[in-house]
Amino acid sequence: MSRISARLAECRESGRLALIPYITAGYPDAETTVELAIALAGAGADLLELGIPFSDPLADGVTIQRASFAALGAGVTPRTCLEVARRIRARCDVPLLFMGYYNPFLRYGLDAFADDSAGAGVDGLIVPDLPPEEAGELRGCLANRGLDLIHLLAPTSTDERIGLVARSATGFVYCASLAGVTGARSDLSAGIPAFLGRVRRQTDLPLCVGFGISRPEHVSALVGVADGAIVGSALVALIERLAPSARVAGAASYLAELRRAADGELA
Cite the active site residues.
49, 60
Neighbours of 181 (CB within 10 A): 18
CA–CA separation, 23 and 39 (whole Å): 12
Neighbours of 186 (CB within 10 A): 8
* DSSP state letters, the chain: --HHHHHHHHHHHHTPPEEEEEEETTSS-HHHHHHHHHHHHHTT-SSEEEEPP-S--TT--HHHHHHHHHHHHTT--HHHHHHHHHHHHTT--S-EEEE--HHHHHHH-HHHHHHHHHHHT--EEE-TTS-GGG-HHHHHHHHTTT-EEEEEE-TT--HHHHHHHHHH--S-EEEESSSS-----SS--TTHHHHHHHHHTT--S-EEEESS--SHHHHHHHTTT-SEEEE-HHHHHHHHHS-GGGHHHHHHHHHHHHHHHHTT---
Phi-psi region of 213 (alpha: psi -120 to 50; beta: other; left: phi over 0): beta
Residues in the chain: 267
